[in-house]
Amino acid sequence: MALSEVKGIQAGPGEKAFGFLKVGTTSVSTYSIPVAVLNGVEPGKTLGVIGGTHGTEFASIEAVIRVIQDLDPMEMKGRLLAIPVLNGPQFEHRSAFLSPFDQLNQNRVFPGDPNGTLSHRAAYVVFSEVVSQCDALVDCHGGDITEDIDDMVLAGKGDDEEVNKMAVDMASCFPTKYITLFPVQESGLSMSAQKRYGIPCVTSEAGTPHNVRERHVEFHYEGIMNVLKYFDIIEGEPEMVKPIVAPKRYRYNAEQGGIWHSYVELGQEVKAGEELGNVTDLFGNELEAFTAPEDSTVSFLRVYYSVNCGEPLIGLVVLD
């Protein structure tokens, strides 16, 4: 196995190397992205793994860090290129959804622009220096500041059926009950790498920042490790599930702003007609109420008390 390098971060056969890729500067600081290069002792596939595309989706970050620590490159074929925290500004400032530097959603600006604002430059650096070297990509996400999301995976769906199948296989490496097929575009999400580079891409979703649950960290971790086995980068047979593909889903947003009261828990099975929650005004008067349209499972919950009109409240998925 030859020397592996990501813009000056070099790892010889059987080695790990850590470093930072410079994105750009603010008026008072330098913005850089941490990268781990794990280089096996034999040739093989290269898997890219990203955490913290949204910097407050902490379960994804913790999982990527654990994978970096637990893997032994002396027992690997091929490489792992891992970014534990892509969106450092959001991670550091604990801001919701958007970078505090340019107010952009990091997962809407790929493949980026070397002459754009910092979010565009970060996307460009990640794609040009890391993802361009990969045979497959896993981008780990979860609930942002206002959200709680249960275990699910998005699999990229493009024009190449063989690549689509690999994406579904990768998604099945996560201990999920269902997979959503996501049409890949030329730009926007990290999943656009499937169209740009012709590699299978998946996005795992699990967790909330309030508080980080071990089961959600394990969801991301187990999935990544199984994907590594799927591509024969590490030894062992991947534990692959047989999830429901593209199940029926419901999503409810607030029609009016006020106070959100949830009556259910994440992952709870609910019956048709069961009360899910309501929105009241500041005097406690009910403005709107929500009930389950059919037997289903709670897959998404708003965790903030206050809510503005148009903001998401609850998601359901039908798994029967």
Last residue of a domain, one of 244, 275, 295: 244
Using the 3D structure, point to which of 211, 227, 244 is the last residue of a domain: 244
- Domain co-membership, 182 together with 253: no
Counted residue by residue, the chain has a size of 320
Element (H, E) at 31: strand 30-39
CATH number where 272 lies: 2.40.50.100
Residues 225 and 261 in one domain: no
Domain enclosing residue 110, as ranges: 4-244
User: Which two three-digit tokens encode residue 30?
Assistant: 């330098």
Question: Does 297 lie in the same domain as 219?
Answer: no
Q: Which pLDDT score, from 0 to 100, does residue 40 have? A: 98
In this structure, the answer to whether residues 217 and 80 fall within a common structural domain is: yes
Asked if 177 and 298 sit in the same domain, the reply is no
Report field, pTM of the whole predicted structure over 0.85? yes
Verify that 273 and 142 share a domain, yes or no.
no
How many folded domains does the chain comprise? 2
Question: What confidence score (pLDDT) does residue 57 get?
Answer: 95
* Same-domain check for residues 234 and 255: no
Sequential pLDDT tens for the chain (320 residues):
688 899 999 999 999 999 999 999 999 999 999 999 999 999 999 999 999 999 999 999 999 999 999 999 999 999 999 999 999 999 998 998 899 999 999 999 999 999 999 999 999 999 999 999 999 999 999 999 999 999 999 999 999 999 999 999 999 999 999 999 999 998 899 999 999 999 999 999 999 998 899 999 999 999 999 999 999 999 999 999 999 999 999 999 999 999 999 999 999 999 999 999 999 999 999 999 999 999 999 999 999 999 999 999 999 999 98
Cβ(174)–Cβ(204) under 8 Å?
yes
* Amino acid letter, residue 86: L
Query: What CATH number is attached to the domain comprising 171?
Result: 3.40.630.10
Looking at residue 320, what is its pLDDT?
81
Residue finishing a domain among 244, 262, 294: 244
**Pair (117, 69) in one structural domain:** yes
Report yes or no: 55 and 91 within 8 Å, Cβ to Cβ: yes
- Residue 242's Cβ-count burial label (10 Å; 0-12, 13-18, 19+) is exposed
How far, in Å, CA of 17 to CA of 165, rounded? 32
Residues 92 and 57 in one domain: yes
- Which distant-in-sequence residues (6+ apart) come within 8 Å of 59 by Cβ? 142, 206, 207, 208, 212, 213, 216, 217, 219, 220
pLDDT at 32: 97
